[in-house]
Amino acid sequence: MMFAGVLAIPAGVCAQSSPDSRFGGTPNFELYGGYSYVFRTFNPNRTSTAVTGRNGWDASFKVPVFGSFLGVKGDVSGSYLNDDLDPNLNPKSLIFLLGPQVSVHLNRSTLFAHGMVGSAHLTQKALPDLRSDTTFAVAVGAGLDVGLSRNLAWRITGDYFNTHYKATDQNIREILNSNGRVSTGPVLRF
């Protein structure tokens, strides 16, 4: 019985790593890296809405669990605020997330939705009121991988993206906490 189990493990790994021909032969593993823009909308007064944001990067890796339909995704991203008016305000944020991703393949292209939870870390040493902080982070979103070839695609994705950093200055809290993220970049599929 144990011998049969040992023989079944390599077969299961090979089955998950081989492309599913029902979906145009799109490989199951995904490695992504690209540009991201993290933003927040807030109300500076009762009659208007403002948007502020940070440029950054995003990288992820998806491992299949049930063929190409369901996988586990790890996501790491960083965002940076460079304020030309105040050079002392230069916070950096690193986010680590993990969660499921559901995918539907349409020939070479892929529609997907994911939900991830994890940790967000903020570093800022220039301002005495805003110290480094680590908090809970959530990203729930969807996207499209436009297939350029069997092993290369271009990703466009949007997320509800939430962090809960604490600061003593309410304006800085509005700048640093976020409620959305859009990102784009190449995807390697293998």
Structural domain span for residue 93: 2-189
Residue 47 φ/ψ, nearest 5 degrees: -110, 0
Paired with 140 in beta bridges are 115, 160
- Classify residue 10 by burial, with Cβ atoms within 10 Å: 0-12, 13-18, 19+: exposed
> Rounded to an integer, what distance in angstroms lies between the CA atom of residue 167 and that of residue 36?
24
> Rounded to an integer, what distance in angstroms lies between the CA atom of residue 167 and that of residue 181?
21
pLDDT single digits (tens) 112-147: 999 999 999 877 654 555 567 788 899 999 999 999
Provide the CATH number for the domain around residue 158.
2.40.160.20
What's the pTM value of the predicted model, to 2 decimals?
0.77
Mean pLDDT score, 105-117: 95
Tokens 């349409």 belong to which residue? 106
Band the pLDDT of 43: cuts 50, 70, 90. Answer: low
What's the total number of domains in the chain?
A: 1
Element (H, E) at 91: none
pLDDT at 150 over 60: yes
pLDDT single digits (tens) 64-78: 998 889 999 999 999
Nearest Cα neighbor of 145 from 184, 102, 97 is: 184
